[in-house]
Amino acid sequence: MGRSGAFAVWRWSDSSIAEARRAAQAAAEQLAASFAAGRLSNRYGYGDRPMREPVLREMHDRWGKVTSVVTRNSYGCQVLNCAVALFVDVDFPPQKQKSGGLLGGLFGRRGAGADDPEKAAVARAAAWAQSNRGWNWRIYRTKAGLRLLATHALFDPADPVCERVFSAVDADPLYRRLCQTQKCFRARLTPKPWRCTVPHVPARWPFEDAAQERQFGDWDAQYAAACKTKATCRLLEKGSGEVHAELQEMVALHDEMTRALSAELELA
C-alpha cells in the first residue's frame, strides 16, 4: 500500500529570491525522496534552522562586522539577535508571581525565599556573579520571568561557559536549544500581540503579493499603537553598572525598544 503526506519546506538567501527558491526546490526534492524511502525525520521543530524573519536593523562593531540584528518574528514582534551579548531567559513556574522587593543590594543578598520564584531566580544570578570575579548582570523582569544580560564582557555562544551559566541560573530549555542552534543570543524587544489585545498577524513574511504586504502594514500600525502603553521588560538591577564598550549601543537600543526604564507600564 502506498503512502501519502503533505509537507512544507523553505530555504533562505542573503542574495536573492531566486537563490532561495533554488535552495527550497532542492530541499523539497530531498524531503520527497526521504519520505518515499521511509527515512523522514521528525526534526522540524523549534530551533533546528535559521529563523524565517526579515532583518529590520543591523549593528556593527568598530571593524564593521555585524554583531546584532533586529528581526521580526512569526507573530510580529521585533527581536534582538546578538552574537556577542549574553542574554538569558529564565521562566517562572505557572503559578501566582509576586513582584517587587528585588531592588537594593542584589549582589549582597543571601537566603532568598525558595517559595518565591522571582527571589530564587535573582539569588541564583547573584550567586553566579559572586563566584565569578568581575561578572556583572543587568536583570530585567519580564511578564513570565527574568531576563539576564551580562554586560561586563563579550561572549561567544559556542563558549562552554555559556552552558555553565545556563545551568547555574536555570535558563529556559527551549532558549538554551535556540542559542546552540542559531549561534546567537536572542531577546524580544516588543510586546506579544495577544497581550496587547491585537489580533493574530494576518500574513507572514515573505509576503506572497502586495495585498498581503498591505494587510500586514495595517496590522503593524495597530500593533505599534497598542504597544505604546506596554513594556516588554523592566530593569530591576544593573549591578555595578559596568557595560563593555562594544555593548553600549546595543544595551541602549534594548532598553529603549523594550521600554525597560518605564516602571509604570504594564509588562506584555
What is the pLDDT, as a whole number, of residue 34? Answer: 67
Helix (H) or strand (E) holding 142: strand 137-142
Residue 189 has pLDDT above 70, yes or no: yes
Tens digit of pLDDT for each residue in 112-168? 445 799 999 999 999 999 999 999 999 999 999 999 999 999 999 999 999 999 999
Q: Could you give the CA distance from residue 18 to residue 21 in angstroms, rounded to a whole number?
A: 5
The β-bridge partners of 69 are: 58, 81
**pLDDT value at position 15?**
66
The mean pLDDT value of the chain amounts to 85
Say how far apart CA 203 and CA 231 lie, in whole Å: 24
pLDDT band at 110 (very low <50, low <70, confident <90, very high): very low
How high is the pLDDT of residue 115?
74
User: 66 forms bridges with which residues in the sheet?
Assistant: 60
Angle at 139 between CA 133 and CA 143, to 5 degrees: 155
Of 2, 1, 13, 7, the closest CA to residue 41 belongs to 7
Whole-angstrom Cα distance, residue 54 to residue 79? 10
pLDDT at residue 194 above 60? yes
The pTM of the whole model exceeds 0.85 = no
Q: Where are the domains of the chain?
A: 1-44, 51-267
Confidence grade of residue 109 (pLDDT, cut at 50, 70, 90): very low
Task: Locate 167 and state its grid cell.
Answer: 545551568
CA-based R_g, the chain, Å: 21
In this predicted structure, which of 15-29, 117-131, 134-148, 181-195 has the lowest mean pLDDT? 15-29
136, 129 in Cβ contact below 8 A?
Answer: yes
138 beta partners: 149
Residue 96 pLDDT class (50, 70, 90 cuts)? low
- pLDDT by residue (tens digit) across 45-61? 444 455 678 999 999 99
Q: What is the C-alpha to C-alpha distance for residues 115 and 210, in angstroms, rounded to an integer? A: 53
Q: How would residue 217 be classed by pLDDT, with cut points 50, 70 and 90? A: very high
Q: pLDDT tens-digit profile of 76-88?
A: 999 999 999 999 9
Q: Would you say how long the chain is, in residues?
A: 268
Cα–Cα distances (Å) from 175 to 74, 97, 190, in that order, read 16, 21, 17
